[in-house]
Amino acid sequence: MSLLVVGLSHRSAPVSVLERASLTADAQVKLVQDTVAAEPAAEAALLATCNRIELYADVDKFHAGVAELSTLLAQHSGVGLEELTPYLYVHYEDRAVHHLFSVACGLDSMVVGEGQILGQIKDSLARAQDLHTAGRLLNDLFQQALRVGKRAHSETGIDRAGQSLVTFGLEQLAAGGDVQRWAGGKKALVIGAGSMSSLAAATLARAGVAEIVVANRTFERAERLAQILTGGDDTDVVARAVPMDAVPAELTRADVAVSCTGATGLVLTADAVVAAVRGRTGRPVEIAAAADVRAAESAPAGAGADDGCPLDLSAAQSGFSVLGEAAVAGMDAATLEQHGAWAAGGTAVDRPREGGADAELISALAATAASAGRVPEMRRPEPVAEAPRPEPVLFLLDLAMPRDIDAAAHRLAGVRLVDIESLADASADAPMAADVDQVRRIVADEVAAFGAAQRAATITPTVVALRAMAAGVVASEIARLEGRLPGLDDKHRAEITQTVKRVVDKLLHAPTVRVKQLAAEPGGAGYADALRTLFDLEPETVASVSRAANSTEKNRGPA
């Protein structure tokens, strides 16, 4: 059997694909169960976070395993296999181990070095154990990954390179400024009461917000989180819980809102955000995307709404509107008159255009050209001064996948929204600490050690079966001795038995120790076969030892 991982993450797929492929809690359970029910897989575990979905399995066939795991991911995510496949990555055996250890150390995180992934790996293992889908391999793998991650954080300065996704998000909200100065005295709304929302609430409390309101579908969980925040010794924050239907009203009062729920639809629509900002300011909320509209209108001549335009568009300067002054400069009077009629929605076209001002300008230019011959000057229009975007009055942090907050909120004046997509863009330029190289060396060493331990473990059932066979031989010979010497007293019988056992143990000690050492080396798997052949061990006896050990591992708790 061999370790296989098939998945996608922020490194392989755009956020839009990750968002569509995200799985509900029930879908995650069903995916793991269906994986072990499939023919190639004997064990399975799923690591699903806001920026990765990875399916781990112990498989007996590589190609069949890749095909089956890919198909299952597509089926349960609802994204078609053909669409999903280009974004999937596959790691096998040592590369799969290396990948998970790197993930555990925070090397593969959106924010390099963040430690929250350790809790997510622990949760993933616990779920697989509860479902009885984690056997010896995945138990060993995930527990060792947790130890490697803890070692990386304790022995290096990787923490200086990274931070939690929450902290990174708050830094983006603060526009690179000091988070505590930005957060001081603000009122915060936290939507959701899971691990990420709890971390966000605690981080906001330590940053100095004055009040935190927690909203959750299960009110008791929101209330419990609020009590924990209020009872904290290191903050003076005031916290209270509200039901989800109170979110619109609370959003009007909040300066910053963080949302991370398991909802499959939007928790905050653009209309809800508009209403909240209007409630705070008493003014209408503008769409801060007028520049995009102007850019569309200033597309190169020949693009967009230029059907039937009488100008020689190939000669017009790029970047100028076919309706504006710069596009017609240099044209003769007759062409200008035709162009003016076209711009005004006259006989040249069948549909009216919103070009009245341009049409008047063109008619005036035509009159000038009639006396001067043609408009003499080719000049680029002065750039339109952009109205400065108003300072945000509402800060939104969306850490959910799929997203909780409508992405249209990015365009609303007075709103600053940071979501997983914008965090991914920002983290691409984040510097990596020098300690990252040290963590990579730790990962490489731990991968080698894990591989050696796994190879050595493969021969253990054979060694156990060999010793069991030897014990059977000893018991059989002692029984025969008792038949030949019926008058043997208990003292001498025990001494003889012990002597024979010592002889057998000494004869087996050196070969079994040495074969374990050899099996731990690369290519050492053949020693188990050799041992079974030399001692004529029954394959079923060895397999039964493996099944017993694997059954025990499936019930082992996380580290």
- Catalytic residue ranges: 50
Q: Tokens representing 374? A: 């043609």
Give the helix ranges, DSSP H, for 115-258.
Answer: 116-130, 136-155, 158-161, 165-173, 179-183, 195-207, 219-230, 247-253
What angle, rounded to 10 degrees, do the helices at 62-77 and 25-37 form?
150
Cα dist from 519 to 97, 135, 222, whole Å: 19, 21, 53
Residue 52 labeled ligand binder: yes
| Residue 305 DSSP code | S
Q: Please give the Cα distance from 397 to 257 (Å, whole number).
A: 6
Which residue carries 């059997």 as its tokens? 1
- What are the phi and psi torsion angles at 450 (to 5°)? -65, -40
Q: Does the annotation place 115 within a ligand binding site?
A: yes
Other C-beta atoms lying within 10 Å of the C-beta of residue 188: 26
Q: How far apart are CA 514 and CA 504, in angstroms?
A: 16
Work out whether strand 2-9 and strand 238-243 pair parallel, antiparallel, or are unpaired.
unpaired
204 φ/ψ angles, rounded to the nearest 5 degrees: -65, -40
| Closest among 8, 108, 97 to 55, alpha carbons compared | 8
With contact defined as beta carbons under 8 Å apart, do 105 and 149 qualify?
A: yes
Tokens for 189? 């709304």
- Is 49 annotated to bind ligand? yes
Is 120 assigned a ligand-binding role in the annotation? yes
Token pair in block for residue 108: 């593969």
* CA of residue 50 relative to chain centroid, distance: 4
For residue 264, the SS3 value is: coil
Residue 104 labeled ligand binder: no
Q: Integer distance in angstroms from the first to the last C-alpha of the chain?
A: 24
Q: Which two tokens stand for residue 547?
A: 């099944």
Q: Give, in degrees to the nearest 5, the angle at Cα 524 between 504 and 101.
A: 120
50 is in an annotated binding site: yes
Is 435 in contact with 52 (CB distance < 8 Å)? no
Compute the distance between CA of residue 529 and CA of residue 537 in angstroms, rounded to an integer.
Answer: 10
Closest CA to 43 of 558, 557, 554: 554
Query: CB–CB of 214/259 below 8 Å?
Result: no
Task: Give the angle 352-353-355 at the CA atoms, nearest 5°.
Answer: 135
195 annotated as belonging to a binding site for a ligand: yes
The answer to whether 309 is annotated as binding is no
Of the candidates 42, 52, 45, the one whose C-alpha atom is nearest the C-alpha of residue 13 is 52
Strands 2-9 and 89-92: antiparallel
Place of tokens 């109205």: 387
193 is in an annotated binding site: yes
Annotated binding site: 49-52, 109, 114-116, 120, 192-197
Annotated binding site for NADP(+): 192-197
Annotated binding site for substrate: 49-52, 109, 114-116, 120
